[in-house]
Structure 1
């Protein structure tokens, strides 16, 4: 019932004007505001560039799962490789984000991009025993380029305070192309052409998108100040911890769903890609529709509940029509939930701590993608395809409970600026 109320509010706006005004009307500014936002200099370009650079984040978990399973004949072995990759990503997120305040964004992103591309390519083209796959996977994980914390730190310097929350919503909708459409592309390429090509396509996005993002002038205009706190202190903020845990569980649920869909329909048809595409469409519709709903302390729990309902229902019948319907419902909550995560983190930390805070949030999401696929793989081996949907439902339920319990730490952003807390010292801005 809660998600029906939220969905209704996404299309209609309650007027707070005089009594003579129609109390419930369609707010066409919701539609036009995204177009106006994209006209802001640099916004469309940097969204597209960072989206391309981060696209492998939504491809590699499933690509590794398929490739290692082909090489070893075991989803369990693939799960071990994904787990080692997730450990590397857990270390990398906050660490490389902090380094950007010391070495600069361009230098850190360039170095990590090159090493990560070499490691991922090695997994694709070199046959290895499982322990060596795990080592190379760890290297690929620890050198994941910190694109997300960089762009989240840049956003508040590109738009005014009124545009920041809609920008987070638009970015969250675009991010769903990474987490949901990315696996669709990986599925088609890996199953129709070959798993090696599925991984190498991710490398093309990694390098091409990384170069595009590095060429953005905004990286030269904004310098992340060196944080004066110890590494990890920002994670003691309840809001940052809430966003990290919930993001981990949300993306873990999505990754388990993706593995389950591929397992259900096998490698011979296009049904898996179609179902995942519908999943993506649901998320895009939700993100664009909910973008201007004011963020209350209950917003995250409500949106996670939508995800849980859809994913829990999906396991009832593993056929293409039922999965398409239930996953479309689940998708409606995904991008709106991510938008809440970005906004509450931005409004709760100082500018010098934003990169590290988003590094932790990004780490949670990347670990969720890897472990969601890994746990789903083990359950598929032992319980069949339905095991992956059980895993997804479990992740989504825990995500809803985390958001419900943590609502007391979720700031009320209704009518409030979502920009980071200013530092006490001036933040240098370099001319382009």
Structure 2
């Protein structure tokens, strides 16, 4: 814990983490809010899953592009433009009674314009701390983001069930605007310049660790999305149980990240963490009871933040600084495609077989998440005792003064 306390004492770290968490809080709210909103209007989990899938596909397509644009036009210009468009689309979903097809189109626009806050902040981090602090910082960030998945689902479910699904989406959009403005106004966003990449778009995928991180992130988030839809299907609209269970799940991830995220990263690190996730999800589908689900998803959660910390670290250590934003954009794309497919597959299986069908999908996807880093462990860099900072570009670049 001392490493994390020292990190928070580093100038700017606590502020930049808080700002980006606020800007990204809608990520933990919108999935449930939109799911409940569309299901309530059209009385179909499959329809709701399709709208979530369209939103996630939009985010997936935009991720590498908007991240790369930050090296061309600067972080602030890209973040402001995407913030305005995405917020407008979110409020349209909340306030306009649309058909499923129109919901999907607006959701796609919202996804395409999602502000690239996550690639931006993870590109900034290596310029704010020394090399020894970077792995603990990635772990702290992965753990802290679980606040999004603790507060977000609980708040979205409570507002949607007790007041209205429309208000739940409006609140999420408001957090996007306020948090995005706070993050954009942070000095680091203006002081760190991402060099224009000299390589062609997509060339960063020639780095095997980036591909490994992208595929594993796709499977991790895919299984998580299937679980999220399944939990909502179990408890329905009758109370806050779904949000509470998902919040407990996120608490497990927070605890896991703070407890194990700072451990040395060897070639088996990702497979071991994914195994924890799989075990918890596989056991969760045995008995669809509130306490059983809460305990088993707590177990699954223990592996999530540590897995994300490994993903961030192996990407950082494998690419040049000018390529980091695009690399994280591709990793985000993998995760968002996983979210799209996970939620859509779970939605159809729930309509056909009940909530247990969604949990089966989650367990199978998580099992693949263990298999991939096991088979491709030679692509996993051994970072034990090594500097996980990005490879320097030749020539001068702008950095933050320490």
Q: What is the aligned residue count?
A: 402
Which of 361, 364, 377 in structure 1 is aligned with 2:331?
A: 361
1:273 match: 243
* Closer, same or farther: CA 429–287 of 1 in aligned 2, 3 Å: closer
Distance (whole Å) between structure 2 residues aligned to residue 87 and residue 276 of structure 1: 23
1:301 match: 271
Q: Which stretches in structure 1 are left out of the alignment for 5+ residues?
A: 1-30
Q: Does residue 1:219 correspond to 2:189, yes or no? A: yes
Q: Does residue 1:134 correspond to 2:104, yes or no? A: yes
1:44 match: 14
Contact 1:296 1:414 in 2 (8 A): yes
1:252 match: 222
1:271 offset after TM fit, Å?
2.1
Distance (whole Å) between structure 2 residues aligned to residue 316 and residue 157 of structure 1: 46
1:231 match: 201
1:202 match: 172
The alignment partner of 1:59 has SS state of helix
Contact 1:223 1:430 in 2 (8 A): no
1:332 match: 302
Which of 28, 42, 52 in structure 2 is aligned with 1:72?
A: 42
Distance (whole Å) between structure 2 residues aligned to residue 239 and residue 162 of structure 1: 20
Contact 1:61 1:370 in 2 (8 A): no
Equivalent runs, 1:137-216 vs 2, <5 Å: 137-216=107-186
1:430 offset after TM fit, Å?
7.5
1:86 offset after TM fit, Å?
2.1
Distance (whole Å) between structure 1 residues aligned to residue 336 and residue 163 of structure 2: 26
1:230 offset after TM fit, Å?
0.9
Contact 1:62 1:373 in 2 (8 A): no
Two-structure CA RMSD over aligned residues (Å): 1.4
What TM-score, normalized by structure 1, do the two folds share? 0.90
Contact 2:149 2:247 in 1 (8 A): no
1:245 offset after TM fit, Å?
1.2
The alignment partner of 1:376 has SS state of helix
* Closer, same or farther: CA 245–202 of 1 in aligned 2, 3 Å: same
Q: Which stretches in structure 2 are left out of the alignment for 5+ residues?
A: none
| Larger displacement relative to structure 2 (175-184 or 254-263) | 175-184
Greater Cα radius of gyration, structure 1 or 2:
1
Q: Does residue 1:261 correspond to 2:260, yes or no? A: no
Contact 1:375 1:391 in 2 (8 A): yes
Distance (whole Å) between structure 2 residues aligned to residue 185 and residue 347 of structure 1: 36
Distance (whole Å) between structure 2 residues aligned to residue 134 and residue 400 of structure 1: 32
Distance (whole Å) between structure 1 residues aligned to residue 151 and residue 267 of structure 2: 30
1:286 offset after TM fit, Å?
0.4
What TM-score, normalized by structure 2, do the two folds share? 0.97
Equivalent runs, 1:389-404 vs 2, <5 Å: 389-404=359-374
Distance (whole Å) between structure 2 residues aligned to residue 408 and residue 431 of structure 1: 37
1:113 match: 83
Contact 2:128 2:400 in 1 (8 A): no
1:424 match: 394
Distance (whole Å) between structure 1 residues aligned to residue 183 and residue 307 of structure 2: 25
